[in-house]
């Protein structure tokens, strides 16, 4: 296949490539000492080697990385469920196929990719980043997260390298068009296969290819991070009432999100939480006309009135796999407006001190059920936010030197005030 470029806008790519030799444009991959990483970013930085990839991504860069990873794996095989290495990415883009190959290598060798807050990772680099989402066993935030708040990550549609096209078909315009069509079709197929390998939603490629090549698609919102299996670094608990956070957890756990304006949240009194949840189990058994030991136990008033018996039965049922939330703090019932009537959708319990500790079960048509969608293992706090909330602002403008993306003083954007009411409003999560 002829060369496909996924870099900057077409005109800029021509200016850069014509002014600098190809061997200078190729990416550089160097080791980074753990002490060079931001303090506190990786508590376990010393556990694994850290590398840094900078410069334009060109043909041969994936092989350079493969050689490094093969040697690294031979010298220090990765521990079970622990990533082999961390690689920092800072690149304006480059070859589409090479960016995809790098992403496949990161996934295959379990390498975590990171974009630091001062760096840009655009186009082919952003595609490579999607492969570096390996997560260790029993992770804690922000282990193995990928984008520091302030780092700029953006995709845009690929385009053909017209210089090579002209060189090969300059005497035959028809052949030039046919070649361009075939290459574009091959590039689309490559993207579709890669998105499937990375577990990305089908709409990812469609949205990417529908954009003009000069239009960037930045990773900004909580929803975009979740859809791309990426994790922002520097996100704290939202400044929202616990009831609002419970509504967001419920909405993010449902098979399909609903408008937050259709939600109603009510607290469940702490002393009665377990009994209230057992009564919901009983309601489901009654609706199914179920018989048996469990139905008899729940129907026994002496059991349901004794706090000790209720707690024991609750713990036994959870241990047996019945969908009941772990009670870790304030607990809420979240209802959704369906046809003019509010019906229970979720039961959510949140820890008041740990933003990554909460539990949620869904209310099915007859019984309680486990959540349909799960939060990232290493960043459960993302479910505390509305999917539209901005986690990492896009740059206000792209400076001519292609590196300065800071907004001007008069463009400084302030976070809007939180909305009042019983459901979350859109807000900024963190600011660069």
Give pLDDT, residue 307. 84
18-27, 298-307, 371-380: which has the minimum mean pLDDT?
18-27
Predicted model pTM: 0.80
Tell which residue, 416, 73, 120, has the closest CA to residue 239. Answer: 416
pLDDT for 417 beyond 80: no
Q: Where in the chain is the domain with CATH 3.90.226.10?
A: 4-233
pLDDT for 29 beyond 80: yes
Specify the pairing of strand 50-54 against strand 232-233: unpaired
Give pLDDT, residue 378. 93
Give pLDDT, residue 147. 97
Give pLDDT, residue 332. 98
Over residues 393-416, the pLDDT tens digits come to 988 765 433 433 333 333 333 333
Tell which residue, 16, 82, 86, has the closest CA to residue 53. Answer: 86
pLDDT for 322 beyond 60: yes
Confidence of residue 171 (pLDDT cuts 50, 70, 90): low
Give pLDDT, residue 158. 64
Residue 198 CB coordination number (10 Å): 18
Give pLDDT, residue 428. 47
pLDDT for 117 beyond 80: yes
Give pLDDT, residue 139. 84
Over residues 286-319, the pLDDT tens digits come to 776 767 777 666 666 556 678 888 899 899 999 9
Query: Span 318-322, mean pLDDT?
Result: 92
User: What does the alpha-carbon distance between residue 423 and residue 353 come to, in Å, rounded to a whole number?
Assistant: 21
Give pLDDT, residue 56. 95
List phi, psi (to 5°) of 10. Answer: -55, -45
User: What does the alpha-carbon distance between residue 405 and residue 396 come to, in Å, rounded to a whole number?
Assistant: 7
Give pLDDT, residue 91. 96
Confidence of residue 160 (pLDDT cuts 50, 70, 90): low
11-15, 105-109, 255-259, 390-394: which has the minimum mean pLDDT?
11-15
Query: Span 74-94, mean pLDDT?
Result: 87
Q: What percent of the chain has pLDDT over 70?
A: 71
Contacts of 148 (CB under 8 A, 6+ apart): 38, 41, 114, 115, 116, 117, 232, 233, 234
Q: Mean pLDDT, the chain, as a whole number?
A: 80
User: What does the alpha-carbon distance between residue 211 and residue 233 come to, in Å, rounded to a whole number?
Assistant: 28
Contacts of 153 (CB under 8 A, 6+ apart): 115, 120, 121, 122, 126, 129, 147, 218, 219, 230, 392
Structure tokens at 71: 């040697």
Q: What percent of the chain has pLDDT over 90?
A: 53
CATH placement of domain 4-233: 3.90.226.10
pLDDT for 168 beyond 70: no
Exposure of 384 in the CB half-sphere (CA atoms within 13 A): 25
């Amino acid at each position: 296949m002829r060369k496909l470029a996924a870099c900057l806008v077409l005109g800029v790519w021509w200016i850069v490539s014509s002014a600098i030799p190809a061997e200078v444009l190729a990416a550089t991959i160097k080791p980074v000492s753990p002490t060079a990483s931001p303090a506190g970013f990786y508590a376990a930085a010393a556990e694994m080697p850290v590398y840094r990839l900078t410069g334009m991504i060109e043909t041969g860069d994936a092989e350079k990385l493969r050689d490094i990873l093969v040697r690294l794996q031979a010298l220090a095989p990765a521990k079970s469920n622990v990533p082999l290495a961390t690689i920092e990415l800072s690149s304006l883009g480059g070859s589409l196929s090479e960016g995809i190959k790098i992403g496949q290598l990161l996934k295959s060798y379990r390498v975590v990719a990171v974009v630091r807050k001062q760096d840009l990772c655009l186009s082919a680099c952003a595609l490579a980043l999607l492969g570096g989402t390996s997560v260790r066993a029993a992770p804690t935030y922000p282990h193995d997260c990928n984008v520091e708040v302030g780092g700029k990550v953006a995709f845009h549609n690929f385009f053909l390298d017209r210089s090579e096209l002209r060189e090969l078909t300059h005497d035959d315009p028809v052949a030039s068009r046919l070649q361009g069509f075939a290459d574009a079709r091959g590039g689309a197929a490559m993207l579709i296969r890669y998105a499937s390998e990375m577990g990305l939603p089908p709409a990812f490629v469609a949205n990417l290819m529908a954009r003009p090549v000069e239009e960037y698609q930045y990773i900004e919102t909580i929803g975009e991070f979740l859809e791309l299996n990426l994790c922002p670094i520097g996100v704290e608990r939202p400044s929202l009432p616990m009831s609002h956070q419970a509504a967001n957890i419920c909405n993010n756990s449902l098979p399909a999100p609903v408008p937050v304006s259709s939600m109603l949240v009510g607290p469940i009194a702490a002393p009665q939480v377990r009994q209230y949840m057992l009564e919901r189990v009983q309601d489901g058994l009654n609706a199914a006309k179920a018989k048996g030991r469990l139905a008899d136990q729940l129907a026994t008033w002496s059991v349901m009135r004794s706090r000790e018996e209720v707690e024991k039965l609750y713990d036994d049922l959870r241990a047996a796999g019945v969908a009941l939330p772990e009670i870790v703090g304030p607990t809420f019932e979240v209802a959704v407006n369906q046809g003019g009537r509010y019906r229970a959708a979720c039961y959510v319990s949140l820890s008041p001190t740990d933003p990554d500790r909460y539990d949620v079960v869904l209310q099915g048509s007859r019984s309680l059920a486990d959540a349909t969608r799960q939060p990232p293992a290493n960043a459960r706090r993302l479910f505390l936010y509305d999917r539209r909330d901005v986690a990492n602002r896009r740059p206000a403008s792209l400076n001519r030197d292609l590196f300065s993306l800071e907004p001007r003083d008069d463009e400084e954007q302030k976070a809007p005030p939180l909305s009042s009411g019983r459901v979350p409003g859109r807000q900024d999560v963190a600011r660069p």
